[in-house]
Chain A
């Protein structure tokens, strides 16, 4: 792959839930090592777009490429097979607002689960790699604990380590700090910031505008299923051009949460 080819390429993407058209002709590219913050009011389709990138949601129309794997969708195109979908998803890591750790497994068990059963690594190798990932998020000493004994911030960092253990090319984050107590937000953002500095390609749905401005290099602003405005993070956040973006951001400058 040449340096010019974007890591993620989405074109003419459409998605309907019944009558409701949630994504309308989305075109988006993310460069290798790029960090994109996806902003927009509630219901604008941010989560749906993020879930289309790893095909947790199947688009109705358009193409999606991550690294060297691409899928086309449309009426004339056959739905991809379960197995090829699963293989595609190993290229992307995803972290959810509600952590979704596996409660019946220890922290280490959570992290080694997919490397062993999806990638086929042996337990020893998987454990070594998992411990390295847990080290990175500062939780190596919690490896044998069960998830429900952890704080929200710790859970979310385990979820990040779990996704990273599959060595994805891309990481997707969907409001990963929204369920956290304010004093726990920092530790998770810090882990993400470190990941960005390490050169991971990331798409982040967030309401942490300051974080988006500092860590993301691009901002994509969505409304009603469209990309309304897109550009360098500081430029879009400090001097938005579109009215929708201005209105949305003004809520933050007043210090109120837009949720």
Chain B
């Protein structure tokens, strides 16, 4: 029988906490970056210019239809060779994960925008607002409220996806967990602890999102 011994983790508490900090920071950064990219792509998808629509669609499909792991590796190893720019593992990870998240956010944001009654932008136009102003003041605030649960769900996935940056030796929770596991010869305890840490953060968030979704359903 395997003797579980979680007490060994105490010695690695700072290492693991550091990793957790990196994971949280990475998620925050790529959610922000992803939202910026997603918003831009969504606006392009709704543009009246065909080139912008085509460009946004191409971008979204490339990132949605390939594995994140490959995107990470590609950004780090291939992109510098092709474009001739040096990137640290952190920059490459931020770039890949933001683009990946952004391609999913884009669809959510586009859907949220088109779900708003066209009467709203008509009323805004009739008051003399330009399309850009109407988007910013009238359409987006309503659309964002409606799509918040979907955006949060995507961000929860994003939180888990950050675990892949460990392949580029970015010291996130999973990477530090690997170090602790090798060092202590206690991989089961270490990875269990890592899983518990993810769960304790994500479970309350999913509960919160579910509650919001329900309230949104009632409001309709």
- A residues sitting closer than 8 Å to B (CB atoms) are 54, 56, 82-83, 86-87, 89-90, 92-94, 96, 98, 100-104, 113-114, 117-119, 159, 162-163, 166
Are A104 and B142 in touch, CB under 8 angstroms?
Answer: yes
Are B130 and A96 in touch, CB under 8 angstroms?
Answer: no
Residues of chain B contacted by A98 (CB below 8 angstroms): 119
Residues of chain A contacted by B125 (CB below 8 angstroms): 56, 86, 89
Residues of chain B contacted by A100 (CB below 8 angstroms): 117, 119-120, 122-123
Secondary structure at the B interface, as helix, strand, loop or mixed, is helix
Q: How far apart are the CA atoms of A102 and B120 in the complex, in Å?
A: 7
Task: For A172, give the chain B residue with the smallest CB separation.
Answer: B126
Inter-chain pairs besides A102-B142, A117-B129, A118-B128, 15 sampled, C-beta below 8 Å: A56-B122, A56-B126, A83-B130, A86-B125, A89-B126, A89-B128, A92-B126, A94-B126, A100-B120, A102-B123, A103-B142, A113-B137, A114-B127, A119-B128, A163-B127
**Measured between C-beta atoms, what is the minimum distance from A170 to chain B in Å?**
12
A-B contact pairs, 7 of them (CB 8 A): A83-B130, A86-B125, A86-B130, A96-B126, A100-B122, A104-B142, A114-B127
Count contacts between A and B, CB distance < 8 Å: 63
Residues of chain A contacted by B57 (CB below 8 angstroms): none
- B28-48 CB mask vs A (1 if < 8 Å, else 0) is 000000000000000000000
**Measured between C-beta atoms, what is the minimum distance from A78 to chain B in Å?**
16
Are A82 and B122 in touch, CB under 8 angstroms?
Answer: no
**Measured between C-beta atoms, what is the minimum distance from B213 to chain A in Å?**
19
- B128-139 CB mask vs A (1 if < 8 Å, else 0) is 111101000110
